[in-house]
Structures are given as structure tokens and as C-alpha cells.
Copies of this chain bind each other. A is one copy, B any other.
Amino acid sequence: MHRLSFALLAASFAASASANTAVYNANVSEAEVLAAQSAWCNALVAINKAGEDQGHAAAKQLAGDVIDAAYGYNLGPVLFKPTLAAPPQTFRTTREGALAYFVGGDPNFKDDSGFALKGWTACRAENAAIHINGDVATSMGNVMITGKDGAVTTVDKTWTFKKSDDGKLRIVVHHSSLPYSAP
């Protein structure tokens, strides 16, 4: 008896999209991940510039806007381990902790001097790999940030972005660390 192959049947058909089909798509694309990374980088530089040009209050205002637009604290706790956050306040699962890290000046986070205010003039991401899974996507790689003197600081960074109901990506996981160097 000849046994027909379902796999061959499937392969013999080409897909053709219907122009009239209404499509809802909750998924994250790679392009959206790259755009969100660029937005984060740009925001970091902008917060620094706001501080230099307009003072700390302006930088704090912008940092708060960035956190509200780009992080998922409105959804719940965010898994945020900033590059320079140290014990016992390593993890910043609340908006307050994130804001303190970026601009400092919060008596509840005394070790925070304001990471975003350290003179950054440029920032870019270079991904090692991206993992896309439904409405969340994770990137891992390096982020290179350039200081006022032109020196480049490289960090190891993992971001998970979640697409909200409004179609916008928000950071729900952010683990950043300085590269290891053998002692």
C-alpha cells in the first residue's frame, strides 16, 4: 500500500494573505526590540542633557517620564538590577527605586548618585542573541555608553520587553552588570 505523506501535502501549498482579513497581533517583533533599545539609549543621553542644561529637577522629571513610558511598573514589580546598584539595595522592583538610581537625591537610596547624570553623550546596544516569546522578548548583549571625555563604558545587559495592550513595549526585566575581569 502506498502511504501518502501529510508533510508533502502541507509543503505543496503556498500561503497567500487575504486583503480583507482583519488581523490582531499581540506579538513582539525583532524590529520593535531594536527600536526599544534605541529609545532607552537615547533617553539616557537626554536625561543627562536635561540635567546639564536645565538642572536636576528637569532631569528628574524626564527620568520619571521615561520610567513611566518605558518600564512596566504599571503592570507590577519590575525585575531591575541596575549596573551600579549594590547590596542591600541591589534590586529595584519599584518605580521609586528606579528613579533614585537614574537621578539620585532620594534619601531612601543614599548610595545612588544618579547614574543617568554622569555625562553620557552617546549610547548603543549590540546584541548577542534575542529570544522572542509571544508578547515578551529578551535581548542579551553589550551596551556601550560614551562619557564626556569620550571614554566608552561597556556593560553586559539583559532586557525583557513586554508589549502592552496599547501596542507599546515596556521593560519588565533589566539586568545590567560590569564585565567580569579575572583578578
Contacts and interface: CB of A to CB of B under 8 A. Distances in A.
Contact of A46 (B9, B80, B131, B164): B9
Interface of A: 1-7, 9-10, 12-18, 21-28, 30-36, 38-39, 41-43, 46, 50, 54, 57-58, 61-62, 65-66, 69-70, 74-81, 83-87, 90-91, 93, 111, 126-136, 138-142, 154, 156, 158, 160, 162, 164-165, 172-173, 175, 177-182
Given A6-B65, A13-B35, A61-B3, A23 B173 contact: no
Given A38-B13, A160-B160, A175-B156, A69 B26 contact: no
14 contacts: A5-B65, A6-B65, A22-B93, A23-B77, A24-B75, A24-B131, A26-B133, A27-B28, A27-B133, A74-B165, A86-B179, A86-B182, A158-B173, A178-B180
B91 A21 contact: no
Given A138-B160, A158-B173, 5 more contacts: A5-B65, A22-B129, A79-B158, A131-B160, A135-B135
A10 B170 CA distance: 12
Task: Work out how many copies of this chain go into the complex.
Answer: 4
A66 B9 CA distance: 10
B86 A140 contact: no
Given A4-B62, A62-B6, A178-B180, A21 B128 contact: yes
Contacts of A77: 22-24, 129, 131
A113 to B, nearest CB: 9
Contact of A130 (B6, B24, B141, B165): B24
A179 B21 contact: no
